[in-house]
Structure 1
């Protein structure tokens, strides 16, 4: 039974998934990619390279297009690129750089997979380092003609050689395995600690550290589909700088990364919008640093701000991110509240669990919050480590031989 279910074709996981939006590596600038992200509303766009080669078939010469997805980009890539020292003075000019400037140079993170490949093949590729598996979608001729006509500022539905494509992620595979969780009994009921799933290989930054010092960690967390923990001097988890949250912002968050502390950046990227207090500090520090180009970018996009008022000001004054003035500081103490399912820092969630939480509970928790990881805390809120989908997949893969017998 297990062998039959786990040998399902990987294309089964594509059911209901939308076709990829694509950008061309050869003709797209970062500004084009930025516009496409905004217009399409996508968090990620796939980047493709297409070569036109002449092939001799049945004594006839035909032009064959060989297209491959070579990477993906999101707002985080653009923000981190603009945050480089050489780009801060003239961000408008930096945006005219080719999109290849922000494509990850790590090979193997994007893998093309045949639709008939098995789920086990997909899991093995992910464990080898693949983050996204690109799979052709079967579609009718009529649908293909309609897709050819769909364009949006350089971003088109990916249609090459008569095919459109989707990709599956670690989340898709974990969600599929959750539906088969009974086959792995009793493993899912074991604690993540007993299964050795807690990793200490994580990125963390101190609450009062400069946010710009975390750029390298943010990029690495983006590549590994995790996050950057924000901790106090005692190693207590205060919150996180999540690439997923940053991907939902716009390019003006670069100004915040450049001028604020890690703690204040959490407030800036809060889903409610940056408070006026923080915006004033950001603008003042841009002027102090003589970053007029970044200031112009900030004014041009016109970031929505939280309107000052009693409720807003009270929340800001009592939040752990209110470190911009001595009157708002709380003698180094931070507000900590919530439970082991979610700790709230303002309105930004840091999803956490306990070392003795069961594997299935952590799976459900991560899937419910659409994250690929869960922070692990002790009873005193000290950060123990992190559990990732990739580590979960290793456990399931290791126990497959035992359930196949």
Structure 2
């Protein structure tokens, strides 16, 4: 029965999860940009570490205790890109990157929550439904001698490495982790998984959408909101036909130079610019021409310098010459498996994962997990946009099913 799931603790979902690489709250936006470009994950965690000696004097801390360290948020490349697109930062991106990382940290509280390993699965689901996107969980204290030696090594840059909680490590759980765990026991919820998302009433008609010909710059607010809500921005035509999306997942695979494209292109052209195959040459030329028209050539020059300063030799010579390299070329190809896949695309070459209102709950779960997205666009046979279904919508259904056993 589904009640057996209630015996599981959060620690059961942490098996195999990597330790977080913390960025201190005292870091700059440039530090965050450099950390993102070398990260294996879309997001990096930002930490505020208190003086442990104070906690120790009050009896709240022992040796290697992490009580004074708290994860206060998370950042991804989209946060940096939206920040650089602000009017005051367009003329001098390098100056903007000297700002403290708090300038781009989402101001919405509760997106990241600390939980104990002994917290129940039900408690984790409740926190997610209350707005938490990442649950920070302490990892077991047992570590190899190699790991301990690394902890005591002097960091190469005190501005980008948080050393206050070097005695302990944390991982975080996402909505995807919880959905994946539930999928492993989906048979316990029968007949719920076979019901359509329409029947379950979990399709949200409130979506972020923009017309194909609208300037992409007008969508910056929507892009930022979609990152907060873990959704995306739909691109539609005048008749409401779904054409594609501007996805934070795709933008997170880009570098900071994409801000130039957002500043100058339409929503439809931006979709093509960040497409998996790379930007067409004609669109790159268009971006350069429009930057020149707006006297923003300095912006492009600074981006070229920035790319050289915060990255290694990952860009090709042609990218360096153009100054526009929308996609980062890191050696970790697995991270971009979803964004580079054409197999899941619908017609019109929209990089979007879609489903039908009659799709079953389990089918939608599998589809979302397979493509590493937190949502699916729901469309009719004529490609008209019905709405969106999210992991949060799905978790509400499972939470209601478990309520009698709580």
Instruction: Report the TM-score range of the alignment, normalised by the length of the smaller protein.
Output: 0.7 to 0.9
1:113 paired residue number: 115
Q: 1:235 to 1:57 in 2, by over 3 A?
A: closer
| Contact 1:20–1:157 under 8 Å retained in 2 | no
CA separation of 1:150/1:9 partners in 2, compared to 1, >3 Å: closer, same or farther? farther
- Helix, strand or coil: the match of 2:138? strand
Q: CA RMSD in A?
A: 2.6
In 1: Cα distance, 2:360 partner to 2:192 partner:
9
Structure 2: give runs of 5+ residues left out of the alignment. Answer: 309-314, 320-341
Match of 2:195 in 1: 190
- CA distance in 1: counterparts of 2:363 and 2:49, whole angstroms: 43
* Partner SS for 1:40: coil
Distance 2:64 2:376 in 1: 49
Counterpart mapping for 1:353-392 below 5 A = 353-392=355-394
CA distance in 2, matches of 1:238, 1:178: 30
What displacement does 1:38 show? 1.2
Unaligned runs of 5+ in 1: 307-337
CA contact (8 A) 2:232 2:248 kept: yes
Tell me what 1:92 maps to: 94
> How much has 1:398 moved relative to structure 2?
0.4
| 1:28-177 map, 5 Å | 28-52=27-51, 54=54, 55-56=56-57, 66-141=68-143, 142=145, 143-149=147-153, 154-156=159-161, 160=165, 162-177=167-182
Using the TM superposition, give the Cα deviation of residue 2 of structure 1 relative to its aligned residue in structure 2, in angstroms: 3.0
Task: Supply the distance in 2 between the matched residues of 1:386 and 1:49 (Cα, whole angstroms).
Answer: 35
- 2:58 and 2:376 mapped to 1: Cα distance? 53
**Residue 206 of structure 1, CA deviation:** 0.4
Question: Structure 1 residues 149, 345: CA separation in 2 closer, same or farther (over 3 Å shift)?
Answer: farther
User: d(CA) in 2 for partners of 1:113 and 1:278?
Assistant: 47
Displacement, 1:163? Answer: 1.2
Asked if the contact 1:157–1:164 (Cα under 8 Å) also holds between the matched residues in 2, the reply is no
Instruction: Quote the residue 1:224 is aligned against.
Output: 229
1:259 pairs, out of 260, 264, 267, with 264
After superposing the two structures, state which structure 1 stretch, 258-267 or 286-295, moved more. Answer: 286-295
Offset of 1:229 from its aligned partner? 0.3
- Structure 2 equivalent of residue 343 of structure 1: 346
SS at match of 2:8: coil
CA distance in 1: counterparts of 2:276 and 2:163, whole angstroms? 31
* Superposition deviation, residue 345 in structure 1: 4.4
CA contact (8 A) 1:150 1:157 kept: no
Q: Give the structure with the larger strand fraction.
A: 1
2:108 and 2:95 mapped to 1: Cα distance?
26
What SS class does the counterpart of residue 160 from structure 1 fall into? coil
**Cα distance in 1 for residues equivalent to 2:57 and 2:141:** 28
Q: Distance in 2 between matches of 1:209 and 1:56?
A: 59
| Aligned match for 2:248, one of 221, 243, 251 | 243
Distance 1:128 1:342, change over 3 A: same
Q: Is the 8 A contact 1:147 1:159 kept in 2?
A: no
**1:124-157 superposed Cα distances (whole Å, 9 cap, x missing partner):** 0000000000000014253344245385765448
Note the C-alpha offset of 1:256. 0.3
Q: Which has the higher contact order (CA 8 A, sep 6+)?
A: 2
Partner residue of 1:319?
Answer: none
Deviation at 1:299, TM superposition (A): 3.6
TM-score in terms of structure 2 length: 0.85
SS of equivalent residue, structure 2 residue 38: helix
Taking structure 1 as the reference length, the TM-score comes to 0.85
Tell me whether 1:200 sits opposite 2:200 in the alignment: no
